[in-house]
């Protein structure tokens, strides 16, 4: 925890390495200073099947993000700053409350820029009886240095793999080196926790779960993403190929992004995964897909 906090003095928690002195109240590129902010928390039933189980995933939505995705469907939280500051004690209380509600895990959404505060809260929560698996639900732009501080702390890593092309990542998320950083991070996550392990009820206990959002016009580079997972991570990777893209936030101003994906585009993405030997695909019913397909 102390090592993580020290990284805030010239902030290099994430690969942006913005150098802000967040301990002195300066805001980094993530627009966050010396305290975590939370938008909402509670049982969530819209996550992947192994996280939801019967009683839901205990999600905590952190405000702001280290990415600038122009199509973010949670942009009021990630970009506009919807949320309130929380102390480590309050954050620990949220975790214990979710456990008391019967949730299967503590699902930390957009945690990259607030890792030191999470670790501080976890120390309090574990002292108070927290025993649920911890899910690190990230946009996938994570530094190896920070991830290594989480070795033995995080049980389930759930990164996005957004893009295979650096120019696309820069254009749509404001990050020049997304694919390179993202792939290194996913490999480190897998090194720590391995393939996703489920209990007898099908609920995730430990491992890697990857999300890949299909974008219109093949902009996400699905073929390269699934090839990387199959050949450089594990053919047993649990993958959620996500069908729910629809234009949000600033995406309406980008012709290539200004429409939902088609049935053909989604089916093509699934077929690409199968061709690479990836067969552990999340198969929960997809309401957004039904809306897309009409």
Kindly report the pTM of this predicted structure.
0.95
- At residue 293, the pLDDT reads 36
Q: What is the DSSP string of 225-239?
A: HHHHIIIII-TT-EE
Whether residue 205 is predicted with pLDDT greater than 60 in this model: the reply is: yes
Q: Any residues with CB less than 8 A from the CB of 54 and at least 6 apart, and which?
A: 201
The structure tokens 């552990």 sit at 280
Question: Which band of pLDDT confidence, cut at 50, 70 and 90, is reported for residue 283?
Answer: confident
Whether residue 288 is predicted with pLDDT greater than 80 in this model: the reply is: no
For the chain, the structural domain boundaries read 2-293
Whether residue 257 is predicted with pLDDT greater than 50 in this model: the reply is: yes
Q: Which residues pair with 234 in a beta bridge?
A: none
Domain 2-293 in CATH 3.20.20.70? The answer is yes
Question: Which band of pLDDT confidence, cut at 50, 70 and 90, is reported for residue 284?
Answer: low
Percentage of the chain beyond pLDDT 90 is 95
Who has greater pLDDT, 285 or 113? 113
Angle at 131 between CA 204 and CA 281, to 5 degrees: 10
For 129-172, the pLDDT digits (tens) are 999 999 999 999 999 999 999 999 999 999 999 999 999 999 99
CA dist list (Å): 79 to 87, 141, 170, 245: 21, 16, 16, 18
């Amino acid at each position: 925890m102390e090592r993580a906090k020290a990284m805030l003095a010239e902030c290099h928690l994430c690969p942006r390495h913005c150098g802000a002195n967040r301990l002195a109240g300066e805001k980094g590129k993530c627009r966050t200073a010396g305290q975590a902010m939370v938008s909402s928390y509670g049982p969530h039933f819209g996550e992947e099947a192994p996280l939801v189980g019967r009683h839901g995933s205990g999600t905590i939505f952190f405000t702001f993000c280290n990415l600038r995705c122009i199509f973010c469907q949670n942009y009021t939280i990630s970009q506009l700053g919807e949320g309130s500051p929380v102390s480590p004690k309050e954050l620990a209380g949220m975790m214990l409350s979710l456990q008391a509600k019967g949730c299967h895990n503590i699902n930390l959404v957009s945690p990259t820029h607030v890792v030191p505060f999470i670790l501080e809260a976890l120390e309090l929560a574990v002292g108070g009886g927290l025993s649920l698996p911890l899910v690190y639900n990230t946009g996938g732009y994570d530094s190896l240095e920070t991830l290594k501080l989480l070795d033995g702390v995080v049980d389930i890593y759930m990164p996005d793999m957004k893009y295979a092309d650096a120019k696309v990542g820069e254009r749509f998320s404001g990050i020049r080196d997304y694919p390179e950083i993202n792939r290194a991070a996913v490999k480190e996550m897998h090194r720590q926790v391995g393939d996703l392990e489920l209990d007898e009820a099908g609920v995730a206990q430990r491992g890697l779960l990857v999300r890949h959002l299909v974008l219109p016009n093949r902009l996400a580079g699905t073929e390269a993403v699934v090839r990387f997972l199959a050949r450089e991570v594990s053919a047993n990777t649990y993958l959620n190929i996500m069908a729910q893209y629809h234009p949000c936030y600033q995406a309406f101003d980008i012709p290539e992004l200004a429409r939902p994906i088609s049935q053909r585009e989604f089916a093509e993405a699934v077929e690409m995964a199968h061709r690479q030997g990836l067969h552990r695909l999340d198969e929960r019913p997809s309401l957004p897909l039904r809306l897309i397909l009409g």
